[in-house]
Amino acid sequence: MLRALRRRWDSYKHRFVPWVALNLRRKRRTLRYVPENSQDKIITDEDVFATLMKVFKALFVNDFSRQTHILALLPEIKCKYLELVTAELERSKVNSCHHPSKHVFSPEEVLFNTLGFSITRDRSSLVSAGTGVFVTKGFVPKGTVVSMYPGTVYRKYEPIFFQSLGNPFIFRCIDGVLIDGNDKGLSRAVYRSCSRRDQLGPFQMSDVSWLTAALQNPLAVGQYVNNCSYEKAANVCYQEFDVPGSFPVELKQYLPNIVYSHDIQSCLRCVVLVTLRDIKQGEELFSNYFTVVN
């Protein structure tokens, strides 16, 4: 019983205001200090956008046989993707370009073929930490987008009380925007509901596969990255990214975030995890749950 209570406290204490206030000075090593909001960037937004586009395009081409309905409504981009499919088939030494489904890679393989690494969820190396995220294959250079934090995006004034009860997966952005990355219970139901609400015919405006074990976007595991400790220093850092309005509609199916209120006219907030140093195969990802803005 005591062990169970201790585990629950360890997972919740970082969001308990009195505990945070009492431990700010004592745990300075686990804090990430940001002099100004504008400096809270490890890499540029352009680099984040380029990485997401590269991965999402590769996933789209890999799933090309499932995109028939979308491509029928977007004839102007169909030729572009046909060229990418043909190039990929030639790279894989496939003779026929009419049956790409016979040579479909898993999302993890697509990530490795695109960025040179793959990641997965597994039991954390930290005692009583539960699930963690590991680099299972390849090498991740410093300054690389290695993961995304999925979930429903709430503005400051939007209701999240019931979803937040006993929920250790709520991420707070610098401007007060909240992202609920819980894949169970009420949080799961809310995300699915918002996803169905925003779907436009065959066009999915968000990825719901992160709620399951079969990920469509292999980057969407950031909510399981554990907080660093004195024994395990942080090797990744959270970075906020607003998805531009020009983001290709056919690739939104891989975005693991969705806004709670449909009528909000603003960019979709995403949070990516960027590497603070080179990370080798087999290493677990560790970040900071705190962002202190001076």
Contacts of 129 (CB under 8 A, 6+ apart): 10, 226
7 belongs to a structural domain: no
The count of structural domains within the chain is: 2
**Structure tokens that stand for 6 in this block:** 């201790």
134 belongs to a structural domain: yes
Give pLDDT tens digits for 184-235: 999 999 999 999 999 988 899 999 999 999 999 999 999 999 988 888 899 9
Q: Is the pLDDT of residue 107 over 70?
A: yes
Give pLDDT tens digits for 225-244: 998 888 889 999 999 999 99
Q: Which residues of 127-142 are buried (b: 16+ CB within 10 A; e: fewer)?
A: eebeebbbbbbbebee
99 belongs to a structural domain: yes
**Please, what is the angle between helix 107-115 and helix 45-62, to 10°?**
130
pLDDT-based confidence at 68, cuts 50/70/90? confident
| Residues 96 and 206 grouped into a single domain | no
| Residues 194 and 211 grouped into a single domain | yes
Q: Is the pLDDT of residue 101 over 50?
A: no
pLDDT-based confidence at 290, cuts 50/70/90? low
| Residues 86 and 20 grouped into a single domain | no
pLDDT-based confidence at 86, cuts 50/70/90? confident
131 belongs to a structural domain: yes
2 belongs to a structural domain: no
268 belongs to a structural domain: yes
Mean pLDDT of the chain: 84
Q: Which of 23-37, 121-135, 194-208 has the lowest mean pLDDT?
A: 23-37
Give pLDDT tens digits for 110-122: 999 999 999 999 9
Q: Which comes out higher in pLDDT, residue 258 or 41?
A: 258
| Residues 143 and 251 grouped into a single domain | yes
| Residues 134 and 228 grouped into a single domain | yes
| Residues 197 and 211 grouped into a single domain | yes
Domain that holds residue 89: 64-103
| Residues 76 and 49 grouped into a single domain | no
59 belongs to a structural domain: no
Q: Is the pLDDT of residue 12 over 80?
A: no
| Residues 42 and 164 grouped into a single domain | yes
